[in-house]
Structure 1
Amino acid sequence: MDRDDVDWHGYWPAAPTPFTSSGELDEDALRALLRLYVRQGVHGVLVNGSTGEWFSQSPAERRRVAEIAASELSGRIPVVVGVTAYTAAEAAELARHAEAAGADGVLATPPPYAHLGAAEIHAFYAEVSTATELPFMVYNWPRGVAVDISAHPGLAERLADLDRVVAIKDSTGDWLRMLGTVEAVADRVRVFGSFLHRRGLAVLMEIGGDGNIDGGGIGAPFAVPFYEAVRKGDRETARVWADRYAALSSRLINPDYSGVYASPISQLKAAMAILGQPGGHVRPPLLEIADDDVISAIGAVLRESGLVSALEAEDGTEARR
């Protein structure tokens, strides 16, 4: 398989997993969130990724999230299921379940905490990517797993050559390394990275790259039309939407993907609550944001970036403040 076997492109939310205030999986909220994404016109959805708090879910919960996502989205927009785990055997088992549930693809980081070397990373992906017939997305997430695929010369190319790998999500905090990944493998696999700004637009138009997979997807009103304009080759329109998205994201997320005000997922769910979106609560070890001043600051970003007014214009209602 290669990049031409899938049409994965554009703006994808990495969906949060909604939990109730008592910590239970909120299936109704998850379905409502997935339906919101469809209405917003996103180009695909990732579930059970880092933003989905896979690390605090049981295997049974992860399987249930995959089943709900596949039932809601398959046949409408691509749904890719995160199967990151500490061993290849665990990840492969989750991948086989995702395939049976009807997912369109699977994704995994290298195993967290283990600090694998290049040969071990390659061996891990060689095993997990062939556990099913599904297209596979490699996820480079140095902030979460303490290894950076893009820091190993030639490793991204070797992973792109694996039979079922069709995409790489490169979330290194080093933008030039991400650009190196694009240059090295975008002719063979889809590359999702940091493109929602003017530098990224230049890369998309001249070098390659395919999309962003964005934690939570609150920027959809700006990011979806950005990628629609890119698809049409309309640089001028894309530049306008890139600037609007950057005005939002740069005030919430640091270049290393940490949150400006709190842990990124806690911050995201606070923002979604302000917007009236079904993000639910976080689950320990994460904590809810309890500081009213922080919540007010996040709300100010949402208003001042124009996101609140954009959402109100979309649905004709008034977002919660």
Structure 2
Amino acid sequence: MKYTKHDAKDYARENMRGIWAAALNPFNDDMSLNEAGLRANIRHWIDDLEIQGLFIAGKQGEFFSMSIEERKRNFEIAVEECADDAGVIVSVSDQNMDTALDLARHAQDCGADYIVVHAPVLSFVQDRDEVLYQYYKRFCDRLDIGIAMWSHPDSGYLMQPETCARIAELPNIVAIKYSVPREMYVRLSHMLGDKIHVSTSAEEEWLDNIEELGWKLYLCSSPPYHLQTANDKRMHDYTRLAFDGKFTEARAVRDSLEPVRTAMKKARPADKPQAFGKYWQELLGQVGGRVRAPMLELTDAEKETIKAAFDGCGLRR
């Protein structure tokens, strides 16, 4: 560990900054994890795109289709490749707390910087505040590693800002990925100040959140490696400009990516997010690969549509 439990907030404020990307996991034709492909992607993301941290084994990475041992191996590969070059946050989320704690201890032992714990599915629970507080407290009591909350609609509810602010008082809570309407994360940001990082995965809102809310962390999704190439790092560029207070210049660069965003939105099948993301990676020269059930593969016709959108989007290869 690079910090103690009671130093976790201070450490994260100083070191958990910039653009962090959520990694898609490449699977081979036999559905095994393509370790060499993942390593190659990580090196490209760090060395060429200058991404500052990676979110490993999350929903983008299809953790729900992976065995416990595969998830642990996923952590280890990321830690080995990132080393001192980029940060690593790993998802240990599972409905079974013993499983989540086992994964969390492995993350802590293998050298991950932080973990993410999704808000759990809470069947039939109407008043969630105390349940959620005690849930995260159990992790904090048993672990030293910094913990990020994650609230998103897949849980069947959204954690309220007041609940998140209460949980943020726990010693090793360092961040929240808050996949909620903007008014909710704005309210939480004002409540917390710089106590922990508040972030959301909407890239198109990132610049506004730097300027209006003082955010320092993009946590995180696939745009950092879908919107950029080694020769076209506009997300990186507008982020640096914004951090330097050059917001007019930053907006011009941010807005120039609109054709790419539009192309992706129009070409992405609504029922195949991971398959789309991996094929777009392949068009960029990265390693994409197969998706695992229950996710669906692209048809040839869908690939043709995506390829046409990619060719006309304006990304510089």
TM-score w.r.t. length of structure 1: 0.86
One of 116, 137, 144 as aligned partner of 1:126: 137
Please tell me whether the aligned partners of residues 272 and 298 of structure 2 are also in contact (alpha carbons under 8 angstroms). no
Please tell me whether the aligned partners of residues 8 and 145 of structure 2 are also in contact (alpha carbons under 8 angstroms). no
| 1:52 partner SS | coil
Give the aligned partner of residue 9 of structure 1. 17
Give the aligned partner of residue 183 of structure 1. 190
Give the aligned partner of residue 106 of structure 1. 115
Kindly provide the amino acid, as one letter, of the partner of residue 132 in structure 1. Answer: L
Give the aligned partner of residue 81 of structure 2. 72
More displaced 10-residue stretch of structure 1: 97-106 or 128-137: 128-137
| 2:70 partner SS | helix
Q: Does 2:313 align with 1:305? A: yes
More displaced 10-residue stretch of structure 1: 72-81 or 110-119: 110-119
* Change over 3 Å in CA distance of 1:301–1:262 after alignment to 2: farther
Q: 2:93 and 2:39 mapped to 1: Cα distance?
A: 22
Give the aligned partner of residue 157 of structure 2. 147
* Change over 3 Å in CA distance of 1:253–1:161 after alignment to 2: farther
Give the aligned partner of residue 319 of structure 1. none
Q: 1:195 and 1:186 mapped to 2: Cα distance?
A: 20
The alignment of Structure 1 onto Structure 2 pairs a total of residues equal to: 299
* Change over 3 Å in CA distance of 1:9–1:282 after alignment to 2: same
| 2:25 partner SS | coil
Q: 1:123 and 1:252 mapped to 2: Cα distance?
A: 40
One of 199, 204, 207 as aligned partner of 2:213: 207
* Change over 3 Å in CA distance of 1:200–1:80 after alignment to 2: closer
Q: 1:153 and 1:64 mapped to 2: Cα distance?
A: 34
Give the aligned partner of residue 4 of structure 2. none
| 2:142 partner SS | coil
Q: 2:309 and 2:283 mapped to 1: Cα distance?
A: 11
Kindly provide the amino acid, as one letter, of the partner of residue 155 in structure 2. Answer: V
* Change over 3 Å in CA distance of 1:105–1:153 after alignment to 2: closer
One of 149, 155, 173 as aligned partner of 1:165: 173
Give the aligned partner of residue 61 of structure 2. 52
Q: 1:300 and 1:192 mapped to 2: Cα distance?
A: 33
Kindly provide the amino acid, as one letter, of the partner of residue 177 in structure 1. Answer: M
Within 5 Å, which residues of 2 pair with 1:309-320? 309=316, 312=317
- Deviation, 1:109, is 0.6
Please tell me whether the aligned partners of residues 2 and 164 of structure 1 are also in contact (alpha carbons under 8 angstroms). yes
Task: Structure 2: state its 5+ residue gaps.
Answer: 1-6
CA RMSD of aligned residues (A): 2.2
Kindly provide the amino acid, as one letter, of the partner of residue 202 in structure 1. Answer: D
Q: 2:271 and 2:28 mapped to 1: Cα distance?
A: 20
* Change over 3 Å in CA distance of 1:115–1:66 after alignment to 2: farther
- Deviation, 1:226, is 2.0
One of 54, 58, 71 as aligned partner of 1:62: 71
**Identity over aligned pairs, percent:** 26
Which structure has more relative contact order (CA 8 Å, sep 6+)? It is 2
Please tell me whether the aligned partners of residues 137 and 168 of structure 1 are also in contact (alpha carbons under 8 angstroms). yes
Please tell me whether the aligned partners of residues 162 and 188 of structure 2 are also in contact (alpha carbons under 8 angstroms). no
Deviations 1:261-293 (A, max 9, x none): 44221211121122221122111111110142x
Within 5 Å, which residues of 2 pair with 1:263-282? 263-282=272-291
TM-score w.r.t. length of structure 2: 0.87
Q: 1:112 and 1:96 mapped to 2: Cα distance?
A: 22
Give the aligned partner of residue 318 of structure 1. none
Q: 1:301 and 1:177 mapped to 2: Cα distance?
A: 34
Deviations 1:68-106 (A, max 9, x none): 101111311101111010022221110100111111111
Within 5 Å, which residues of 2 pair with 1:72-91? 72-91=81-100
* Change over 3 Å in CA distance of 1:265–1:125 after alignment to 2: same
Q: 1:23 and 1:62 mapped to 2: Cα distance?
A: 14
